[in-house]
Structure 1
Amino acid sequence: MKIVIVGDGKVGYTLTEQLAKEGHDIVVIDSSQQALQNSMNSLDVIGIRGNGAALEVQMEAGVNRADLLIAVTSSDELNLLCCIVAKKIGARHTIARVRNPEYTKQLVLMKEEFGMSMFINPEFLAALEISRILRFPSASKIDSFAKGRVDLVEIKINENSPLDGYPLHTLYEKYKVKVLVCAVQRGERVFIPDGNFVLRSGDRISITASPAEIESFFRAIGIVSHKVRSVLIVGGGRITYYLARQLLELGMKVKIIEIDRARCDKLCEMLPDADIIHGDGTSEELLLEEGVENTDAFVALTDMDEENIILSMYAASKSQGKIVAKINRISFLEIIENSGIESVISPKYLTANQIIRYVRALRNSLGSKVETLYRIVNNKAEALEFKVGERARVIGKTLTQLELKENLLIACIVRKGRIIIPRGSDQIEHGDSVIVVTTNSSLRDLDDILK
């Protein structure tokens, strides 16, 4: 596909990198020659310097012949204008990043009026991700499929865990719960395990099942899930606003520390039920004064990755609560893993996942399309949900009869609301939702799982 990306910042570069890996023809527009040069040197893409909303710049980039234009500059208004111009001159599909909460209620109207395909809000996606984690604090990451009927949960096997040393095929016999371990990270390696795989302490495992079965499994292995009632957030940006609003609706007590006085005043207006503290969230004295030792959850949401790492490490040393950090640079993930911080979110990768899912669905308009896509185990594997079309080649055969690609697992089948943790004798039927976990990238159709 021919894709034009306007904006070469953090989100734009991540999108360019991911979509270029999937073999798309990418043109990047940005006003910064240095940013463009970096992308052109690192990735196989074309860069054009200029205003992405200008007609002559879009024509030079070939937007009139593009399958998709994605506008992810730092300005919501510029992104909307880019998409309007692109649609007028012939781009088939357009996606705009819109982050301002004041525009939220108008997005449906704008989508209809301007013919846009999709709006994306990285801060809202990040808040949603953190909210999911805080609702299930025993997990380090939670992804949902089939409209919430199936969860994919990541946990770490600690020392003295009853799972240490157990082969996977014994789990049902021992615990009588219908869960499937579909990915294991051991050090730098990622495994898509079979029934003979033996778990070890230190492994990070991804489990798929219904939320009720996962809760039963956690209880069976001795993981007690304490409900989060109080949350301390450092940083008062857009993610904090969206997150606080969701947590307050869930009945949690929310306290926000923000260093900018004007932003504190704004948050007080927008979040009257939250406690807003004007102060330096990196101050140990202030954190202790505001109850970091007793809070059920601590979330570091400043604009600096380094600050979020240090704050999270400090909170982890003082509190038994859930610790969540926002990190954009993937190079920091190894440091964080070794520090004991289990839950990390990255707005730019969440955004990339959403858009890549949409792009893969566009490329496959007739087959079994990608409904949901998540990158798991530090972006080293993918979990995808497919809706099974009537022409799918996987229909009518047992799973044992299917010749699947290596490093791939059918993790779950959802049929008319019923969750099936698959066995070799199960079959896939038309209309099913099928969840696949794999280290192979670029699956666009369910039939791509076959050799």
Structure 2
Amino acid sequence: MKVVFIGASSLATATAERLLKEGHEVIIIDNDKTVIDELMERLDCVFIHGNGSKPAILKETDPTSIDVLFCLTKSDEANIIASLVARSLGVKRVITRIEDHEFEHICVELGLNDTIVPTLTNARYLANIAAGRNILELSAAIRGNVRLFSFIADEAEEGTVDDLDLPKHTRAIFFYRDNSYHTADRDTELKKGDEVVLVTTSGEYEQLHDKWSNGKAR
């Protein structure tokens, strides 16, 4: 597997180190030459010095051959732009890190469905620990070829969940309306602007991505 990181953050380097031990190909892009020089002594991978949101820099990685690209710089805006550029160049899967959770809805609208918000995730986890709650981790619940997919409903999706004509093994499990959580079943009425979350398989995920690649139906 070929994995590229934009931004040599501590999260990026720790993940890269694990992937290298498992025998995967890793490329790290960063615009700080000093950081790259230091990491070259620790990590046996390819380094590219430059701005990872620039098409010319990303083209050096042969984008269409990348299996996963992580955008992990310290700037939410830079990560979003880099993600969009990477997707336009044919990268198969892009993971976007954001710190400001207000960008999360925007990422979904842009079709950046693989978005992580580390601060918010850690805060929820620590709050649950403090409260003594035994919360089932998503990583333990999602196994094998099971995937989650979300999209923003447009006029075309207004109607019932059953009207979405989802693939055989895909189900709508819940949705957000005005940032409020609601469960979903076949008769649930959807409105424009609802963020709908689906549980699906790896095979059907691609069908969903093709249909809602920009966060809206085509």
CA apart distance, 1:74: 0.5
Residue 121 (1) aligns with residue 113 (2): no
Q: Which amino acid aligns with 1:120?
A: I
Q: Is the 8 A contact 1:37 1:47 kept in 2?
A: no
Instruction: Tell me the equivalent position of 2:19.
Output: 19
CA apart distance, 1:68: 1.3
Q: Is the 8 A contact 1:9 1:35 kept in 2?
A: no
Q: Is the 8 A contact 1:63 1:90 kept in 2?
A: yes
In 2, the alpha carbon distance for the partners of 1:120 and 1:11 equals 12
Deviations 1:62-114 (A, max 9, x none): 22321111100011111111111111111111011011132233232122xxx
Q: Which amino acid aligns with 2:37?
A: Q
Q: Is the 8 A contact 1:58 1:86 kept in 2?
A: yes
Instruction: Tell me the equivalent position of 2:216.
Output: none
Structure with bigger gyration radius? 1
Residue aligned with 2:102, SS: helix
Instruction: Tell me the equivalent position of 2:57.
Output: 57
Matches of residues 36-47 of structure 1 in structure 2 within 5 Å? 36-47=36-47
CA apart distance, 1:38: 2.4
In 1, the alpha carbon distance for the partners of 2:105 and 2:29 equals 29
Structure 1: gaps spanning 5 or more residues: 151-356, 362-367, 372-451
Q: Which amino acid aligns with 1:133?
A: I
Change in 2 beyond 3 A, CA 1:106/1:146: closer
In 2, the alpha carbon distance for the partners of 1:86 and 1:58 equals 7
Q: Is the 8 A contact 2:4 2:69 kept in 1?
A: yes
Matches of residues 103-118 of structure 1 in structure 2 within 5 Å? 103-111=103-111, 116-118=112-114
Q: Is the 8 A contact 1:29 1:51 kept in 2?
A: yes
Q: Which amino acid aligns with 1:40?
A: M
Q: Is the 8 A contact 2:8 2:35 kept in 1?
A: yes
In 2, the alpha carbon distance for the partners of 1:99 and 1:51 equals 20
Matches of residues 7-156 of structure 1 in structure 2 within 5 Å? 7-111=7-111, 116-136=112-132, 144-145=136-137
In 2, the alpha carbon distance for the partners of 1:104 and 1:82 equals 15
In 2, the alpha carbon distance for the partners of 1:93 and 1:106 equals 18
CA apart distance, 1:43: 1.5
Change in 2 beyond 3 A, CA 1:20/1:78: same
CA apart distance, 1:23: 1.8
In 2, the alpha carbon distance for the partners of 1:87 and 1:44 equals 27
Deviations 1:107-148 (A, max 9, x none): 32122xxxx3400111011111112102217xxxx5514799
Residue 6 (1) aligns with residue 2 (2): no
Q: Which amino acid aligns with 1:122?
A: P
In 2, the alpha carbon distance for the partners of 1:145 and 1:33 equals 38
Change in 2 beyond 3 A, CA 1:17/1:147: closer
Instruction: Tell me the equivalent position of 2:157.
Output: none
In 1, the alpha carbon distance for the partners of 2:56 and 2:139 equals 43
In 2, the alpha carbon distance for the partners of 1:88 and 1:133 equals 41
Q: Which amino acid aligns with 1:136?
A: G
Matches of residues 246-395 of structure 1 in structure 2 within 5 Å? 368-369=144-145
Q: Is the 8 A contact 1:71 1:97 kept in 2?
A: yes
Q: How many residues align?
A: 147
Give the 4+ runs in structure 1 shifted more than 6 A. none
Q: TM-score, normalised by structure 1?
A: 0.30
Instruction: Tell me the equivalent position of 2:206.
Output: none
Change in 2 beyond 3 A, CA 1:100/1:23: same
Identity of aligned residues (%): 27
